[in-house]
Amino acid sequence: MNAPDANTRFAPRHILGIEGLSPDQITSLLDAADGFVALNRRREKKGESLRGLTVINLFFETSTRTQTSFEMAAKRLGADVINMSVATSSIYKGESLIDTAMTLNAMRPDVLVVRHPHSGAVELLSQKVTCAVINCGDGSHEHPTQALLDALTIRRRKGTIAGLVVTICGDIAHSRVARSNIHLLTAMGARVRVVGPPTLIPAMIERMGVEVFHDMVAGLADADIVMMLRLQLERMHGTFVPSLRENFHFYGLDEDKLAAAKPDALIMHPGPINRGVEIDTSVADDIDRSVITEQVEMGVAVRMACLEAVTAHQEAASP
Ligand code: CP
């Protein structure tokens, strides 16, 4: 794929969600990320486009993949990176999210990379600061860079997204990954199915353009992509599944259920995976079909593209 031309590349002020992005804007980010995959596979990985800029990682929820890959992405583009330790911050002296963000903004960072447990919190914060903001997951609302890295993984493996049957299985109700992926995949012309027990499928989700299945084998029939999601226990208030064992029996991905999908179907999972809860080890580690570690690799490239995109207008504006 060719990198987008500097005049036509998508350069938003913030990246807060996939909802509302056009296929061209999504494609622009994916094309830019595709170029970074090759750079990341070289021994010398240093770029220059963010040299002199400061990126602050501000994570109010735990993360392994997103936080580390944003730090790596920013450093590979030459930025200075601050990993703000929320646990030792003045949040615990009663300082609000907005006051924290405005305090950090006063230090003139260029990008705030934010994860927060409440839906809408990152967008609210973006309205109060002058720097760019990238949403790394806000409650059960959106996780845009996850959907972009999933799309890049699919596009590189299958050559296209349009026309593919993508089945997303598990805890759809609490999943920001599902929501961002549904927005992206439907915008790009995929047929999206969601599979799960009625307790974990939001009412009226069909309005997002997906088909709903409660029988996993029916939902997996002839699927090109099988995307598994973990139970988001941290967001559940009450009982949503009878037991983890029963959940695996009906909705866990194993060889038997996977047989309903196309023989070359890709197995995806945003991580962290819970083996034996939503996915069996034999399919998670299937070297021919599982692309779970490839998704992690694509995450660095996608986050480099997003950092470049939100700082491009700053480049144009600076003296
Ligand atoms: N997929 C994802 O967001 O993983 P982390 O919670 O480890 O960042």
Q: What share of the chain has pLDDT > 70, as a percent? A: 96
pLDDT, tens digit, 9 for 90 and up, residues 234-290: 877 777 777 888 889 999 999 999 999 999 999 999 999 999 999 999 999 999 999
DSSP string, 28-84: HHHHHHHHHHHHHTSS-----TTTT-EEEEEESS--SHHHHHHHHHHHHTT-EEEEE
Nearest to 77 by CA among 309, 314, 308, 302: 308
Residue to mutate (ligand 1; options 57, 58, 62, 63; most atoms within 8 A of CB): 63
Q: Taking the C-alpha atoms of 53, 57, 58 and 62 in order, what is their torsion angle to the nearest 10 degrees? A: 170
Nearest Cα to Cα of residue 69 among 4, 134, 159: 134
Look at 120-124, 227-231, 313-317 and tell me which has the smallest mean pLDDT: 313-317
Helices of type H across the chain: 23-40, 65-76, 97-106, 121-126, 144-158, 176-187, 216-220, 244-251, 255-258, 281-284, 292-317
| Ligand 1, atom nearest to 64 Cα | 7
Distance of CA 61 from the midpoint of ligand 1 (Å): 10
271 Cβ closer than 6 Å to some ligand 1 atom: yes
Q: Which pLDDT value is given to residue 2?
A: 43
Average pLDDT over residues 48-64: 96
Residue 315, pLDDT score: 57
Answer whether 64 contacts ligand 1 (Cβ < 6 A).
Answer: yes
Cβ(117) – ligand 1 distance below 6 Å? no
pLDDT of residue 3: 46
Q: What is the pLDDT of residue 7?
A: 59
Which pLDDT score is estimated for 313?
A: 79
Q: Is the model more confident about 69 or about 93?
A: 69
> What percentage of the chain exceeds 90 in pLDDT?
86
Ligand 1 contact, 146 CB (< 6 A): yes
- Which amino acid is it at 308? E
Ligand 1 centroid to residue 79 C-alpha, Å? 22
68 lines ligand 1 (CB under 6 A): no
Q: What angle do CA 208, 233, 62 make, to 5 degrees?
A: 95
Confidence class for position 318, pLDDT limits 50, 70, 90: low
Q: How does pLDDT run across 285-308, given as a tens digit for each residue? A: 999 999 999 999 999 999 999 999
CA dist., res. 4 & res. 11, Å (int): 11
Grade residue 233 by pLDDT with cuts at 50, 70 and 90: confident
**Given the CA of residue 66, which atom of ligand 1 is nearest to it?**
8
Q: Mean pLDDT score of the chain, rounded to an integer?
A: 94
Which DSSP letter does residue 12 get? -
For the segment 173-200, the average pLDDT, to the nearest whole number, is: 97
